[in-house]
Amino acid sequence: MPIFESQAVSVGQTTQSAVNKSALGKDDFLKMLVQQLRFQDPLNPMKSDEFATQLAQFSSVEQLNNISNSLTDSINANYLLTQAINNGLSAGFVGKEVRVSGNTVSLQAVGVDEVRMNLGYTLGSAATQVEIKIRDANGNVVRTDHSSAGAKGDNTYVWDGRDDDGSDLPPGKYTFSVEAKDANNLAVTASTYIFGKVSSVRFTAEGTKIVIDGQEIFLSDVLEILEG
C-alpha cells in the first residue's frame, strides 16, 4: 500500500505540472498517458476501451497540432506574397497625385509661388454651416474659416498657408478639423483627407509606406490615385 501512495503522488505531480502550462502539446499528452500506464493500480487496471479512447485522443491532438502548423505556414506565405505584390505596385505611385485619408499636412517654406494647399473633407449629408480649423504642431488654432454651406459628399478647402491675421506661417506639420451642422443645427458627420504628390516609397517592417511632403503614409490609407 505505501507503494501505491508514493506512486499516486508522482502521478499527481506530473498531472499538475502539465496543467500549469498554458497549453498542452502532443508530447505532454503522451507523457501523461505513459505515466498513467506506469502507475495504474494493478488491482484495477485500465480497461482496453479506455486505453483505446485515450490513444484516439492523442491522435486527435497530434492532427490538430499539425493542422495548426500548416495554417501558420500558409498565413506567413500569404503575407509575404501580399507584401511582394504591394511593393511591386507601389513603385508606380512615385510622381502621382493621390488622395489620402488623414488630416496632417506639411507646409513648405513660402517662396515666390503662392501657397495653395488642397484640404478635403467628406460630409455625410448637406450642411448649412461648415467650420474649418487649422492647428500647428502644438495644437494651437492658427486659422479658422467658415463656410455658409457644404454639399453632401466630397468638398475641398484651399489653404494659403497663412494664419487668421494674414501672416505667412512657418514651415512644419499642421492638422485640420472640420465641424458641420445642418439646417436644424444638428451635427453632420465629416471625415478628412489630403492631397499630395508621392515623392518616394519606403518598405518598412510595419508595411509599405508612401512619402508625401516628407511624411510617411501607409499604402492602405490611399483613397484615390489622380493624374500625375
Residue-wise pLDDT tens digits, 29-64:
667 767 776 766 666 665 555 655 766 666 676 777
The confidence band for 6, taking pLDDT boundaries of 50, 70 and 90, is very low
Task: Please give the Cα distance from 142 to 120 (Å, whole number).
Answer: 18
Arithmetic mean of pLDDT, 132-151: 91
Per-residue confidence at 12, pLDDT binned at 50, 70, 90? very low
Give the pLDDT confidence score for residue 55 in this predicted structure.
Answer: 61
Contact 95, 214 (CB under 8 A): no
**pLDDT value of residue 14:** 46
pLDDT, residue 83, reads: 64
Q: Which of residues 87 and 35 earns the better pLDDT score?
A: 35
| Residue 164 backbone zone (phi > 0: left; psi -120 to 50: alpha; other: beta) | alpha
Average pLDDT over residues 88-95: 75
Average pLDDT over residues 19-31: 60
For residue 178, pLDDT beyond 80:
yes
Give 98-126 pLDDT, tens digit per residue: 889 999 988 877 655 667 888 999 999 99
Which segments of 96-214 are extended strands (E)? 97-101, 104-107, 117-123, 129-135, 141-147, 153-159, 172-181, 187-188, 190-204, 207-212
Backbone angles phi, psi at 151, to 5 degrees: -80, 155
Partners of 150 in beta bridges: 127
3-state DSSP assignment of residue 66: helix
Average pLDDT, the chain: 78
What is d(CA 166, CA 159) in angstroms, rounded to the nearest whole number? 11
Rounded-to-integer distance, Cα 228 and Cα 219, Å: 17
Contact (CB, 8 A) for 40 and 11: no
Instruction: Quote the distance between the C-alpha of residue 126 and its chain's center.
Output: 31
